[in-house]
Structure 1
Amino acid sequence: MCLSTQSPVGSEPSSPVEEFSVRRISSFMLLRTQQLSSVPKTINSQDFRINDQIAKRTWYKYTIQIDSLEFTVKIGHRNRTFSAEDLMGFNNTGNICIWPSEETLSYYVCSNLSLFKDKKLLELGGGMSCLAGLFAAKFAAPLAVTVTDGNKVSVENVQAALHCNEFACPVACKVLKWGRLQGEEYDVILCADCLFFDDARTDLIECLWSCLRPEGVVLVMAPKRGGTLDNFIAQSEAKGFACKKVLNYSQVVWEKRLTLLENCEYVDDLHYPILIEVTKV
């Protein structure tokens, strides 16, 4: 039997602004969202500019539950629409909703906190939330976390969130263009749904090579989406990486996938995020 439903049933969607998205399947229902009744208090911020940015946002609590444990992060949403200037010159796909790849990567992080303990961590292309990186920074006790996006508007939004959450380590947020390489290296790199633009793939792989320590690992979460995932793997292996494709990385996510397969609007190729573990040979 084929069910025709817009999203899975049983929880709130992972984005409070679903109407802005054209996606048929918007969530694996791993995240609960709750709008906060007031602006959260800042953590050690006397910066008027930051406090003003915080006040201009509507704030939500994002919660992931693993068995009896709950993990929460507060994220603000801008109260105005994006101007053409805001959206010019960068890929803004991460700027409206929490996409399934970021959702499942965040769930994977919260399910495997020991992987990040005492590690130096980088998130690439985190959009307006950088959720996976922030969950790691708050709950996994890493050495340090840097979350990034190629867009200054996204970075400003995450910087506001940094002042409204208490983290277990130093956390930085900055603009990082993949084609402009930096010298700093990391133990773990997180990357969600960043593979679907062919013209950016080479820059992404070069950035991963430059930023990853010899014994480090990149955790990429993305759907097949035609040949984009396989093209990334082939090009990464040509660069000198080893890539391991993991289909069943969480029994909870896998069971939700099996349920979604009965949904007429669900397309596994487009909607199911696959985990790719990338290491240097």
Structure 2
Amino acid sequence: MDQSKDILDLSQNYRIDLDQVSFVGKTNEKKKAARRRWAILAKALKSPSGSQPSSPTDEVSVRRISSFMLLKTRELPVPPCSDLNEQICKRVWFEYSLSIGQTSFTINVGHRTRTFSAEDLMGFNNTGNVCIWPSEETLSYYACANLGLFLDRNVLELGGGMSCLAGLFIAKYAASTTVLVTDGNRNSVDNVQAILQCNTFSCPTSCSLLKWGEAPRTALQYDVIVSADCLFFDDARHDFVECLHQYLAPGGLALVMAPQRGSTLDHFIIQSETRGLKCKKLIRYDETVWDRRMQLLNQDEYNDNIHYPILVEVTKP
């Protein structure tokens, strides 16, 4: 195993300043990762207007390189619901599944069959409309492995992208009081609205547009908030922290999953604690995820800094 890639060395008791870690060819690695992300978006723009969007295992996707192989996908021959309206029929449908022990968890997910215009991709971040990223994959797995965290709780997902996968797994299996899944992009919300029609949930479940920088539409607060890979853009982090503080009930818990990505995660923690929230950074939060990480360390394309999702537990005193 190439020890230079194990930036989360346990001998440091999980305390490490990634800015002080020297990577060989670090600049080139960052450029390659950026090119891969933009290649996904470029492919969507250049594809014929009737083509399908990138699948969760698309060969150009960063997720294929960094997948923790927790999710399995199966294309469905027909839409998985009886009401075949236009919103349902214009999507290609997949069954997303994961297994924990002997228990299987499944969600039906629709992929838009239209490509993305330049207008779609400009302005608000739309990367969540393209594929499932590792943080969402691992957050979904962690949620299903810890369903008791959401029992009889009001749950909110922030920045859920085109699938709001973690929130919907919770809504289907955790017996929560209510679940609201949200994103700041209208295309994502429209897609999730269609997904809601093709699944059965254990509690009242809804989806709405929520942009972090806007004034809240309601004073309602939530017992648990979940969010995956929402720290990527520096200029949106302040609004995200404010949104967490606004919507998290006193004594509530937020589960924020994101890679270290340089100092990005640490800046989020600093900003959150400055705002009065308390943060606990968990690296080895699940043994299955940890074992998959150890296997990936041997792959040339894998980089802990940008691929391994870290869990931050955020509480509001």
- For the criterion TM > 0.5, the same-fold answer is yes
**Structure 1 residue 219 and structure 2 residue 255: aligned?**
yes
Partner SS for 1:94 = helix
| CA shift for structure 1 position 54 | 0.5
Q: Is the alpha carbon distance of 1:160 and 1:24 closer, same or farther for their aligned partners in structure 2, counting shifts above 3 Å?
A: closer
Alpha-carbon distance in structure 1 between the residues aligned to 2:111 and 2:279: 35
Q: Aligned partner of 1:249: which letter? A: Y
Which of 12, 21, 25 is matched with 2:65 structurally?
A: 25
Partner of 1:100: 134
Q: Is the 8 A contact 1:24 1:266 kept in 2?
A: no
Partner of 2:143: 109
Partner of 1:9: none
Partner of 2:231: 195
Partner SS for 1:162 = helix
Q: Aligned partner of 2:314: which letter? A: V
Q: Aligned partner of 1:270: which letter? A: I
Q: Aligned partner of 1:199: which letter? A: D
Partner SS for 1:167 = coil
Alpha-carbon distance in structure 1 between the residues aligned to 2:290 and 2:62: 24
How high is the TM-score relative to the length of structure 2?
Answer: 0.80
Partner of 2:26: none
| CA shift for structure 1 position 218 | 0.6
How high is the TM-score relative to the length of structure 1?
Answer: 0.90
Partner of 1:251: 287
Pair member with larger Rg: 2
Unpaired segments ≥5 residues, structure 2: 3-53
Q: Is the alpha carbon distance of 1:237 and 1:100 closer, same or farther for their aligned partners in structure 2, counting shifts above 3 Å?
A: same
Partner of 2:112: 78
Which of 128, 134, 146 is matched with 2:162 structurally?
A: 128
Partner of 1:269: 305
Alpha-carbon distance in structure 1 between the residues aligned to 2:57 and 2:290: 26
**Structure 1 residue 169 and structure 2 residue 203: aligned?**
yes
Alpha-carbon distance in structure 2 between the residues aligned to 1:93 and 1:193: 10
Q: Is the 8 A contact 1:181 1:207 kept in 2?
A: no
Partner SS for 2:245 = helix
Alpha-carbon distance in structure 1 between the residues aligned to 2:96 and 2:254: 24
Partner of 1:57: 91
Q: Determine what percentage of the aligned residue pairs are the same residue.
A: 62
| CA shift for structure 1 position 159 | 0.4
Q: Is the 8 A contact 1:124 1:147 kept in 2?
A: yes
Q: Aligned partner of 1:147: which letter? A: V
Partner SS for 2:94 = strand
Which of 80, 86, 94 is matched with 1:40 structurally?
A: 80
Q: Deviations over 1:15-56 (max 9, x none)?
A: 5451453556241000000000111114xx6xxxx8211000
Deviating more after overlay: 151-160 vs 261-270? 261-270
Partner of 2:241: 205
Which of 209, 218, 230 is matched with 2:266 structurally?
A: 230
Q: Is the 8 A contact 2:66 2:302 kept in 1?
A: no
Alpha-carbon distance in structure 2 between the residues aligned to 1:16 and 1:198: 26
| CA shift for structure 1 position 86 | 2.3
Q: Is the 8 A contact 2:93 2:111 kept in 1?
A: yes
Alpha-carbon distance in structure 1 between the residues aligned to 2:313 and 2:55: 27
Equivalent pairs, count: 264
**Structure 1 residue 141 and structure 2 residue 181: aligned?**
no
Q: Is the alpha carbon distance of 1:250 and 1:22 closer, same or farther for their aligned partners in structure 2, counting shifts above 3 Å?
A: closer
Partner SS for 2:85 = helix
| CA shift for structure 1 position 90 | 0.8
| Moved beyond 6 Å, runs of 4+ | none
Unpaired segments ≥5 residues, structure 1: 3-13
Q: Which structure features the higher share of helix residues?
A: 2
